[in-house]
Amino acid sequence: MKPFLLAMLIALAATHSRAELTASDLAHADKLRAAGLASPLAYELVTSLTDIGPRMAGTAADERAVAWGVERLKRLGFSNVRAEPFTMTAWRRGPGSAQVTAPNPQPLAMAALGNSVSTPAEGIEAEIAYYPDFEALKADTGDRARGRIVFIDQKTQRQRFGATYGNAVRARTQGASEAAKRGALAVVIRSISTDHDRFPHTGSVNYDKAAPKIPAVAVSIPDADLVARLAAAGPVRLRVAVATETDVPVTSHNVIGEVPGSDLAQEIVLIGGHLDSWDLGTGAIDDGAGVAITVAAAKVILDAGIKPRRTIRVVMFGNEENGLDGSRSYGARYKDVAHQLVGESDFGAGRPWRVSSRVLPGALPVVAQIAKALAPLDIAAGDNAADTGPDANYLKTRYRWPVVHPDQDGHDYFDYHHTANDTLDKIDPATLRPNIAAWAVIAWLAAQSDVAFGPLAEATK
């Protein structure tokens, strides 16, 4: 649905012959919005969570974060608080380095990509095969990459809502296997990022079972620019060395708390974020902010003292970063439970500017009413083609559970994403509050609606 059509529904909702949401529900949403704007809780929570440090799934810090989540939800007064375990295989980063060895020796700021296999202890040194982007590598049917280190110089364009990330990130997720299919010894990529700092960005590699596994690393943007300049002038040799552990069996957890519902308590409105982070930074924007925002939003509803019709469930997902194991475990456990909405805040701490949805057509008048309730926050009505955070998006895709999502301004999100620079100072406490308000309004009105938002028309495996 085009944005202007959804905007028209806002006007139609006011005169619609059937009230999808009651006047009292809408009035209560106004109170929740005001309470969210006054709440300092999200910043308090994200500060406390980042003080734990990096939270790679399956590590001791992950265990501390799970304990933190359980303790905080209980202290805040949520019901049915629990940590639900799941098994997974973890990846461990060891020492790593990358250098230009010719035409002139110099070190590069690098980070091994998640799931990367190790190099030999002495490293791998070879001439590079330069590709300006991932598509150029995929289009190569020759032997240029054979026996070389493939270098993918994929650019990521800065956008408010991060739409270019999905295309750019293929260089990271698929680049190693595509290079291996062409006989490469290793792959080095330009960080999937929009910054100009000398911080390399990590993130997962998805190895294709049909290709050999080769080491995969990212270099910072200034270093990628250096390699590109050198490659334009003549042959370049790199040396890469990484030591990693792969397929380590571990247990992690989803942390859950609830605001119990009333007459429709068996149906779930799910909001949340992911508790884990990469190991380089403290996971402030990815995704301490999302955990803090959604917990604070549910707390606003809890403190208002009026029971929602549906149960509002806050989920802190485990291992989003390197496998979505938490959302897969959640889906397997709750696949037969009706979910009115699944939403995940996982795009930093920027101000929300648009509300989008993925609901049944019959629920669009309710979404229009939600959009009208969010308009005082300067949040515009979006379309009905929404995605949400990766865990909730997996659940939407796999189980046909619907989405209503406040889209955040993420113009600088990929400056810090997956880096050592993802730290608390990147968060403006003032922008957390409209996020709390938005999620509180969305969760409350979704819980109150007479209209089912889903299940959606089709699912994909």
Look up 122 and say whether it is catalytic: no
Residue at token pair 């993925």: 358
SS3 42: helix
- Across the beta sheet with 380-381, what order do the strands follow? 380-381, 352-358, 403-408
Please tell me which residue in 20, 178, 267, 320 is annotated as part of the active site.
320
Nearest CA to 186 among 237, 111, 119, 95?
A: 119
Residues in the chain, how many?
461
Burial class (CB within 10 angstroms; exposed 0-12, middle 13-18, buried 19+) of 144? middle
Buried b (16+ CB within 10 A) or exposed e, 164-200: bbeebbbbbbbbbbbbbebbbbbbbbbbbbbbebebb
Cβ atoms of residues 286 and 235 within 8 Å: no
Residue 249 CA: distances (Å) to CA of 47, 90, 129: 30, 6, 36
Nearest CA to 407 among 431, 368, 435, 440?
A: 435
Burial class (CB within 10 angstroms; exposed 0-12, middle 13-18, buried 19+) of 219? buried
Helix (H) or strand (E) holding 258: strand 237-259
Burial class (CB within 10 angstroms; exposed 0-12, middle 13-18, buried 19+) of 430? exposed
Cβ atoms of residues 40 and 432 within 8 Å: no
Helix (H) or strand (E) holding 7: helix 3-15
Nearest CA to 287 among 359, 366, 369, 392?
A: 392
By annotation, the residues acting in catalysis are 320
